[in-house]
Copies of this chain bind each other. A is one copy, B any other.
Amino acid sequence: MRDDTERTPGPGRARRADAERTVRAILAAAERVLSQEPGATMERIAAEAGVARTTVHRRFATREDLVSSLTVLAAQQLEAAVLAGRPESAPPLVALHEVTANVLRIKRTWSFAMGVHSEHPEVMRVHTDTRARCVALFRRARDAGAVRSDVDPDWASRVYYGLIQAAAEDLAEEPTPAELDAAAARVVDTLFTGVGAGGGTPHRSG
């Protein structure tokens, strides 16, 4: 456990409701360790979580269980981040900015879990739903005249994913809200206007 304010009193120490706390600690530790070393052992993860390896096995019978739970948790976080941006009700560009900032934070926090191609039904559902919400958002943006009519919303979504990936790479480990906003703004700006100077289509009125 990184948080040293949580002291471990010695062998056999336990408070009645520690189970859930331990589970969360293990999941967080697994994310930290696996994001840097995807093949890390249970031993390594347990050490990072500050618990014994046997305790990890008590909560997650197999390694597969652990990774699976991790992907589910990340997926839920992702869904919450997306929904918090009100992609279906807020003005498209506002929603896009909010969603982007939220997702960048989550993606930074759960980079390993979000990169695993999980077969878990809950994870697949979230990915499908999120994808659909993303496409719908771009459709709304197009209907509102903000997106070129000849752009396929599906392609726009792919590009959007790619830009988020690019932006997530040069984010700090624990980005401030301001940094997240700046990154999100850059993503949205690039997504909409590109990097070109205009040529045939002048974008920036200036």
Chain A interface residues (CB < 8 Å from chain B): 38-39, 93, 97, 138, 142, 145-149, 151, 155-156, 158-159, 161-163, 165-167, 169-170, 186, 188-206
Contacts and interface: CB of A to CB of B under 8 A. Distances in A.
Contacts of A198: 148, 201-203
A201 B193 contact: yes
Given A93-B203, A203-B198, A166 B156 contact: no
Copies of the protein in its oligomer: 2
Given A148-B198, A189-B201, 9 more contacts: A97-B203, A146-B202, A148-B196, A151-B195, A158-B170, A162-B165, A194-B194, A200-B203, A205-B206
A44 B167 CA distance: 36
